[in-house]
Structure 1
Amino acid sequence: MAIGDPAAEGVHAGNGFIQRVAVAPNAGTGRYPFTLPAVEHLVRSGGLRLNPGVTFLVGENGTGKSTLVEALAVAAGFNPEGGSQNFRFATRATESSLGDQLILTWGVAKPRTGFFLRAESYYNVASEIERLAREPGPPLLPAYGGVSPHERSHGESFVDLITHRFGPRGLYILDEPEAALSVRSCMAVLARLAELAKQHSQIVVATHSPVLLALPGATIYEIAETGDIVPVPYEQALPVRLTRDFLTAPERYLRHLLADD
């Protein structure tokens, strides 16, 4: 289902664009990425429901949340390294095969626009934006804040992108955007995500940021080390609990972390 279908104009996206994500019945198992805890859960459970608005995925490193978000983006038609559906560049193929084995259940309404923001490969996306901006046609850079992303800091270009390029009724998939953001910038992104959700956009974010997770009305799915994916309230989300506990009594953690052997 392609983004930008004119037939979707004026259709309310209240039920979300992607309603469910599941692994194909005949997908290969017993090998990466199907051995990742999150993927094994999708196979066992029959899939994961995605609500309208903002959905966060949290969990420890290695549970598979970034792999799942990347595969979701690929299955939705985005370039594996990031960008919109029109971005088709490739520098080095590192994506897993999971995207080819996901089944997405789409709602009636289609997104008018979309973007996959992947923190670790955004430099390559920025280079592609510069290249496209040099080609004949309507000016491209105003959609990214008016300047090349390479002329801004990593974090500034992220905020420019989310502020200027993201718009109403869009599908946006973000992988750990906080990697480039200060706490203040995370707050700015939180406010923008809230605005986009009110404009009937659907947003899926893999994150470790307790700031972003505070977005009112968002769905938070936590991936346990066992792979189980369960909804949790903000106060019980892993990044929130660990950050709060550390800030409350850092010396208790430091005694263990810095103890002499």
Structure 2
Amino acid sequence: MIKALPYLQEICLDLSGVTSFDEYPFDIPSIRNLKSLSFDSNVTFIVGENGSGKSTLIEAIALLLGFSLQGGSKNFQYEEGQNLPPLFRYLNGIKSFKQPKDFFFLRAETFHNVSTTLEELYAQKKDVLLKNYGIDLIRSSHGEAFMAVLANKLKGRGLYIFDEPEAALSPSRQLAAVHLIDSLVKKDSQFIIATHSPILLAYPNAVIYQFGNEGIRKIDYEETEHFMVMKYFINNYHEIISEVIREDIREP
């Protein structure tokens, strides 16, 4: 029996037309060595150190699916010109026979731009914006706006791409986000999320891909650096803090 979910089941990367692997983003090991990536679960996490290529791939997937690089729903198209990251032009997606009804790309870095543009577009129809998000995005904190997306904007049966959604969320809000993500998964939704959050990564039955200099590999939650470092820190925080603030090891 063919599965209806996930909606985006696999991406394939064909770099045969790339002329130089010494330039961004093709100089990133995880991107240069990527052939395909399967999405076998309704929730897929992409993790890795800064610069490992996780956000680069998330952006490319979003562009492949027709989102603006700034983020938002597929109805939101921000004027971006021709300077789009090139990776998405080398991507192909394998999709389910069943199409999602809802779409959203939450990119923490640029969500304020989306909020500002929406405020301008709906200047005369603020009731519509309030109906969609439940709050005034511009006059709310970054974290409140992120939670409003999860709680009010996303309706289910959706394909949702998130890039570091924890950036503006406190630990308790991250736990609340896990609850909201789960409620949307139960409404036949798919999430692909780049994150550094050990709280989000604990979501059960998620697939976790580790990006690094050796390429990409699937790992378990307790194998992630995020889990191991946080566990070690909590159990040994006095010694660790004393060590990292020692004057003789401070950076110049």
TM-score where L is the length of structure 2 = 0.90
1:141 is the counterpart of 2:107:
no
The 5 Å alignment of 1:221-232 reads: 221-226=209-214, 228-232=215-219
User: Equivalent residue of 1:215, what SS?
Assistant: coil
Map of 2:171 onto structure 1: 183
Map of 1:235 onto structure 2: 222
How far 1:103 moved relative to its partner?
A: 1.1
How far 1:112 moved relative to its partner?
A: 0.5
Unaligned runs of 5+ in 1: 1-11
- Identity, % of aligned pairs? 36
Quick one: distance in 2 between partners of 1:255 and 1:61? 25
User: What letter corresponds to residue 195 of structure 1 in structure 2?
Assistant: S
Map of 1:132 onto structure 2: 121
Quick one: distance in 1 between partners of 2:101 and 2:127? 19
User: What letter corresponds to residue 240 of structure 2 in structure 1?
Assistant: Y
1:169 is the counterpart of 2:157:
yes
Quick one: distance in 2 between partners of 1:84 and 1:135? 20
Quick one: distance in 1 between partners of 2:78 and 2:94? 27
| Contact 2:100 2:159 survives alignment (8 Å) | yes
Relative distance call for 1:139 and 1:78 in structure 2 (3 A) is same
How far 1:211 moved relative to its partner?
A: 0.6
- CA deviation string 1:24-46 (max 9, x = no partner): 2434141210111221231xxx2
Relative distance call for 1:91 and 1:20 in structure 2 (3 A) is closer
Aligned length: 245
Unaligned runs of 5+ in 2: none
**Alpha-carbon RMSD:** 2.1
Relative distance call for 1:75 and 1:251 in structure 2 (3 A) is same
| Contact 2:4 2:96 survives alignment (8 Å) | no
| Contact 2:41 2:205 survives alignment (8 Å) | no
1:23 is the counterpart of 2:10:
no
1:34 is the counterpart of 2:21:
no
- CA deviation string 1:215-246 (max 9, x = no partner): 112111111332x2222111111211111111
| Contact 1:54 1:219 survives alignment (8 Å) | yes
